[in-house]
Each structure stands twice: as structure tokens, then as C-alpha cells.
Chain A
Amino acid sequence: MLSLSVNGQSYPVDVPDDMPLLWVLRDVIGLTGTKFGCGMAQCGACTVHLDGQAVRSCVLPVEAIGNRAITTIEAVGNTPSGQKIQQAWLEVDVVQCGYCQSGQIMAAAALLARTPQPTDQDIDAAMAGNLCRCATYVRIRAAIKQAATGKAEILQTIGSTPEGAVS
């Protein structure tokens, strides 16, 4: 019987040692905010934090966790960076289908926690492992910047040209 510390709560779980954390969270504990996308660390949908570090839970055997603290999307809002990221995500209106977004937010929150003012390169390095099939990338970038600077990124690049005004 392993004991996992998830979002500040301790869960005794009786599962095979090699079972990836993702399935323990989703199918045993019942925290379904963490998503399954590929099962081979290629998409980032399953990203959670281990002691604040973004990891891919789909390839993380539970036995390797030890007593490190697990944080999932359900509780990342309790961390300062997670809170900022979620807020910016809402303000910039990032999500589309939303399926990848738990992972995106976990990756972005980990980035912001260690690099409060990320450059474009920092953002790429932290976020390139997270796929979004809806391709919300443009707004993800904007939202991370907004979370970092507190300055409103332009929500709309959309410039409206009145009828007939185009030449």
C-alpha cells in the first residue's frame, strides 16, 4: 500500500508499483482534471507538479514518487503562480475544447513559479511539450505574458474595418 500526497491530502492507494500516476489520479482517486492524451510523454495533457516541478504523469510510475508532493489542476489555483495563470487564462480567453488546458496550465504555472518574467524562449522551452489540437498557441503565449507582467495583453488582434472602408 502506497501513500500519495495529492493536493495536500494523503491517499493510501493499493495499486501496482509500475502504474503511472495518471491512472491512479483518474481511475483510483477520482481526480479527472488531469488528462490522458498520448501515454508516451509527447502531448503534456497529463502534466502535474511533483514538488512544484512539471512532470508527465502518464509515464511516471507511482513507486518513483516517494514522498514528493503532487499538485494537480484541481489545486494549482492555491499556488500564487497557478492562481495568476488561471486568471490570465480567463482574461485572455485561451481555452477552446479545453482538453489540453489542464496540462497547459500546469506547465505554465511551473514556468511562472521559477521564472517570473519569462521570455519568448523561456515560454517555448516550457510549453513546447504541450500539444493543443485546437491550436490555442497564440493566446497561450499572450496569457503567460499577461500573468507575468500583470499588463493586459491585447485580447483581440482582430481589427475591425467598417464596411467599404477597405481599399
Chain B
Amino acid sequence: MKRFLLTIVVLLLVGTGVYLYLNRSDSSDGTAPAMAGAPPAADVIARGEYLAKAADCAACHTVPGSDQVFAGGVPFRLPFGTIYSSNITADAATGIGGWSDDDFVRALHDGIGKHGEHLYPAFPYNSYTLLSRSDVLAIKAYLFSLPKVSEPNRPNELSFPYNQRWAIGFWNAAFFKSQRFQPDATQSAQWNSGKYLATALGHCAECHTPRNFAFALDHRQEFAGEVLQGWRAYNITADPAHGIGSWSDSDIASYLSTGHADGHGSAAGPMAEAVENSLRFLQPVDTSALVAYLRSVPARAGLDPIAVDTKPAPALASSDYAPAGDAQANAQGLKLFEGACASCHQWNGKGQQTPYASLLGARGVNDVRGNNVTQILLHGSGQRSEGASVFMPDFGNAYSNTEIAALSNYVIGHFGNKQGMVTPDDVAERRKQL
């Protein structure tokens, strides 16, 4: 009995030790590689603004369309409940006005809030931990230079056990490592700044890297694509068939900075927001650096790989104004397309009025599960860039699940030359997301 108790105590001690060890903070300050667009540390607010944009803080902390900048309240519907982002304005009562530099650094580097509570990893401290301390403080300085908004945080709606914040410590122990960005001396300066942009700031992985059973990033599949909140973040590895290996540098740069690349379609949903709020503000040199880094990501096919048909027969047989070849196929989808879609997208998928409406080569229409096609039909998509706004209306309110499914399958058949697999029940499921 004594032995048994002793064993328990030892195990507990060891466990606690391991827990603490795995949860240890890396207290180093780190250094950021040079970024063309980020002014030197002396102009701290300007630098902070550039970094905050590159880190896309607004995407999560500003309700789209709201003038309450950084006041939080954006819902994140996860498989186990809804998390709301918090107010990060300098308002003392409801925001982070009372946070010290160290409080703020600890949040970004270690995922710990002012009162020592664990932050949910929906907040990408997994990525921000790589930021240098001075960059973190530049972001803070920028946030504190903005108007304070009094907006109490919304309580999260999580079920047990996910509402137990302490449990995140175990999650962190297993999946999180506090560490600063380490430049790779064997790579160019450009590559290093690209990596800093992609990993520490841009946190591309948070969406584009598959997650494991515990909702942690599966780094073996880095950037190979994942479905999040109903949207599919595509494979952005160098895989030529399933990733972006066959895209030219300028294609990638154009997609990142404008949300569109000819022959590859347009960004929609969360990616359109990332372009609108973040990526389009990068200086071209920084965008190139990001491209250079992405190019080096090892090719992986990922799960449910999508192969883009760059010459889809039905679309190519069609003209600007009339379908050909598959005119009889999926008549319901075709009818819907000719009514609500063709005048912008055109039967040959080239896009009319704006190149953003071009569907040829887009991965969405090549995904037989039609995740993003369904999402964009249901919820629409908007993007404002370079002053012009491009948008796709939402059709979810007035069109049935069967219609959305039929239309998705038609679009996949016509522009992806594949048999779409979207069922009305799938659409019903996807309606609940987002």
C-alpha cells in the first residue's frame, strides 16, 4: 500500500515535471529577419501597423463590416462549440488597456492571458510564438495608438470538457512549443523573411496544414490543405499536381496580393478576407519573399488531393455565351447556372466584367466534394482590393439544398470536368457551418 502510494506520488511528481517542462516558456527575445515593408524598429507604431496587417489581427478581432475595429466578438464555430474573439483595443475595462508589455508578450509567445489563464489555440500563439519580442511590442504599440472601444467580451459557448481552460495546458504540453524564429543560415535572406512572414506572422499553417485528432497541426502534412469552418484551405505545397508547384512566381504573387491569378481562379471566403485585410498590404518585395519561401515547402499530396484540370473539355467546348457538350447533363444545375451565374462567369469560365469571375483552373470547381463551391454559393464572398470591390452574392437564402447541390455539381462537371459528389444532405450540413 505504501509502495503504491509512493508510486502515485512519484508519478505525479514526474508528471508535473514533464508537464512543466513541456509547458516551459522560451524567454528569449528573438530577432526578426528584415522585411522591406516594415519600417525599422525606431518608428514603432508604423512597424506595428505593418506587422499587425501581416499577422491579420483584424480578421479575427474585427467583426466584418463593423466599425468597431479590434473590438472582438467574431465567432469561430469549431466542432466542439463557438469561441468569440476578444477585444484587443486599449480600452482598460473591456480591452487590453491594462496589459503590461510582459502580459502581452506572454499571450503571444505562450498563449497565456493576463490572469494566467490559458488562451484557446484558435488564437494562433502556435505561430506568434515565433515573433521577436520587439515585433510583439511594436504590434502592441500600434494597437494602443488606436481608438479604445468599450465592448465587453462575449463568453465562449463550449461544451464540457472543452470549456475547461486548464486542460489546454495538457494540449500545449503535447502540441505546443514556445520558441522564437530561428533564421536558417543556409538559406537566403529573402527566404528567411518569407518564412517569418508565412509562419510567425501570416500563420498560413493555421488554415493550410491538416490537423490531427486533437485539433493540433500535423506538421508532417504541412501546408497540404485542410477544411476549416466549412471552407477548404488548399494545398499550398510545391506539389505540381495538387499544390501550387505548377504556378508561376507571378501567379502566386498576384493571388496573394490581389486575390486572383489568371488561370487559377480567385480567392474566396477566409482567403479573400486574408487578402483584403492582410496580404494585399505587403510590399511587393515581401510578397516575393513569401513566394520564395512557399516554393520551398516540400511537395505533399495531402488528403483528398485535388487535381486541377486546366483544360476542362465541357468549358472549352463552350463559348462566351452558350454551353456546349454537356448541355443535357445535370439539367437542373445548368438551368440555375444560366439564370444566376452565366452572365458573370460565362459558359467558357473566362469571366465577364471582371477577371475575378473566371472559374477556369480554380481549385474550387475541381474539388469533387465541392466544399468551397457550396460555401460560396450559400454565403457569397466579397473582397475589396485596390479600391474596387468584387463580390459574389449569396444564394443560400432562396435556393434549396437540392438546388445548391445540383448547381455545385454542374459547375464541377462543367469547369472541372469531374463528376461532382455533392448531395443535398451535404449542403444541409454545410449550411450549419460558418
Contact = CB atoms under 8 A, between A and B. Distances in A.
Direct interface between A and B, CB < 8 A: yes
Contacts of B388: 17-18, 61
A53 B354 contact: no
A44 B352 CA distance: 13
A56 B344 contact: yes
Contacts of B402: none
Interface string A44-75: 10000000011110011100100000000000
A114 interface: yes
Interface in A122-137: 122, 124-126, 128-129
B342 A129 contact: yes
B283 interface: no
A42 interface: yes
B342 A61 contact: no
A117 B344 CA distance: 24
Contacts of B393: 40, 42
A60 B339 CA distance: 18
Given A18-B388, A41-B344, A126-B322, A59 B339 contact: no
A121 interface: yes
A59 B388 CA distance: 11
A113 B20 CA distance: 77
Contacts of A60: 353-354
B387 interface: yes
A40 B321 contact: no
A125 B324 CA distance: 11
A53 B389 CA distance: 23
B343 A44 contact: yes
Contacts of B354: 59-61, 64
Interface string A88-129: 000000000000000000000011001100000110111011
Interface of A is mostly: mixed
B322 A125 contact: yes
A116 B353 CA distance: 25
B347 interface: yes
Given A18-B387, A61-B388, A125 B321 contact: yes
B353 A125 contact: no
Contacts of A54: 321, 343
Nearest to A21: B353
Contact of A125 (B340, B342, B352, B389): B342
A128 B353 contact: no
A41 B395 CA distance: 13
B335 A53 contact: no
A42 B322 contact: no
Nearest to B320: A53
Interface residue tally on A, bucketed by range = 20 to 34
B72 interface: no
Interface residue tally on B, bucketed by range = 20 to 34
Nearest to A59: B353
A56 B342 CA distance: 11
B391 interface: yes
B338 A124 contact: yes
Interface in B317-352: 319-323, 327, 335, 338-340, 342-344, 347, 352
B339 A128 contact: yes
A124 B344 CA distance: 16
Nearest to A119: B327
A125 B338 contact: yes
Contacts of B321: 53-54, 110-111, 114, 125-126
B351 to A, nearest CB: 11
Contacts of A122: 322
Contact of A124 (B320, B335, B340, B353): B335
Interface string B349-377: 00011100000000000000000000000
A29 to B, nearest CB: 19
B320 A41 contact: no
Contacts of A17: 387-388
Contacts of B389: 18
Given A42-B393, A61-B388, A125-B323, A56 B353 contact: yes
Q: Which 9 A-B pairs have the closest CB atoms?
A: A128-B339, A129-B343, A128-B338, A18-B388, A60-B353, A59-B353, A125-B338, A41-B344, A125-B322
7 contacts: A18-B388, A56-B343, A60-B353, A126-B322, A128-B342, A129-B338, A129-B340
